[in-house]
Structure 1
Amino acid sequence: MRLVIITGMSGAGRRTAAHTMEDLGWYVVDNLPALMIPHLMEIAANNKIRRVSVILDVRSAALVDQMPQLETALEANGIRPEVLFLEATDAVIVKRQESSRRPLPLQGDGRLVEAIVKERRLLAPLRSGADMVIDTSNLTVHQLGSRVAHAYGGERDQMVRIAILSFGFKNGLPIDADLVFDVRFLPNPHWVPDLRPMTGLSEPVSSYVLSQPGAVEFLDQLEGLLSTMAPGYVREGKRQLTIAVGCTGGKHRSTAMSEELARRLSAVGYHVGVIHRDLGLE
Structure 2
Amino acid sequence: MTDHEPQQAADRTGAHDGDGAQVSTGTTAEPGEVADAAIPELVIISGMSGAGRSTAAKCLEDLGWFVVDNLPPALIPTMVELGARSQGNVARIAVVVDVRGRQFFDALRESLAALDTQGVTRRTVFLESSDEALVRRFESVRRPHPLQGDGRIVDGIAAERDLLRELRGDADLVIDTSSLNVHELRAKMDAQFAGDAEPELRATVMSFGYKYGLPVDADLVVDCRFIPNPHWVPELRPFTGLNEEVSAYVFGQPGAKEFLDRYTELLQLIAAGYRREGKRYVTIAVGCTGGKHRSVAVSEKLAARLASEGVETVVVHRDMGRE
Q: Which interval holds the TM-score relative to the shorter structure? A: 0.7 to 0.9
The equivalent of 1:9 in structure 2 is 48
What's the TM-score once normalised by structure 2's chain length?
0.73
Would you say the 8 A contact 1:159–1:230 is kept in 2? Answer: no
Higher helix share: 1
Indicate the larger mover: 239-248 or 76-85. Answer: 76-85
In the alignment, structure 1 segments of 5+ residues that lack a partner are none
Secondary structure of the residue aligned to 1:241 is: strand
Higher relative contact order (CA 8 A, sep 6+): 1
Equivalent positions of 1:126-141 (< 5 A) are: 126-141=167-182
Would you say the 8 A contact 1:246–1:254 is kept in 2? Answer: yes
Would you say the 8 A contact 1:156–1:269 is kept in 2? Answer: no
2:40 matched to 1:18? no
Aligned equivalents of 1:248, 1:157: Cα separation in 2: 37
Per-residue CA deviation, residues 64-88 of structure 1 (Å, 9 max, x unaligned), is: 5433432344456664222211111
Given the superposition, is the C-alpha separation of residues 185 and 132 from structure 1 closer, same or farther in structure 2, using an over 3 Å criterion?
same
Aligned equivalents of 1:175, 1:89: Cα separation in 2: 38
How many residues were matched structurally? Answer: 282
Equivalent positions of 1:151-162 (< 5 A) are: 151-153=192-194, 158-162=199-203
Q: For residue 135 of structure 1, report the CA deviation from its aligned partner.
A: 0.6
2:46 matched to 1:31? no
Q: For residue 137 of structure 1, report the CA deviation from its aligned partner.
A: 1.1
Q: Pick the aligned partner of 2:112 from 71, 74, 77.
A: 71
Given the superposition, is the C-alpha separation of residues 103 and 197 from structure 1 closer, same or farther in structure 2, using an over 3 Å criterion?
closer
In the alignment, structure 2 segments of 5+ residues that lack a partner are 1-39
Given the superposition, is the C-alpha separation of residues 124 and 277 from structure 1 closer, same or farther in structure 2, using an over 3 Å criterion?
same
2:93 matched to 1:46? no
Given the superposition, is the C-alpha separation of residues 28 and 141 from structure 1 closer, same or farther in structure 2, using an over 3 Å criterion?
same
Q: Pick the aligned partner of 1:253 from 294, 297, 303.
A: 294
Would you say the 8 A contact 2:199–2:278 is kept in 1? Answer: no
Per-residue CA deviation, residues 37-73 of structure 1 (Å, 9 max, x unaligned), is: 2333444553934443221013445655433432344
Would you say the 8 A contact 2:73–2:105 is kept in 1? Answer: no
Q: For residue 127 of structure 1, report the CA deviation from its aligned partner.
A: 2.4
The equivalent of 2:7 in structure 1 is none
The one-letter code matched in structure 1 to 2:212 is N
Aligned equivalents of 2:202, 2:287: Cα separation in 1: 20
What's the TM-score once normalised by structure 1's chain length?
0.83
RMSD, aligned α-carbons: 3.1
Q: For residue 199 of structure 1, report the CA deviation from its aligned partner.
A: 2.7
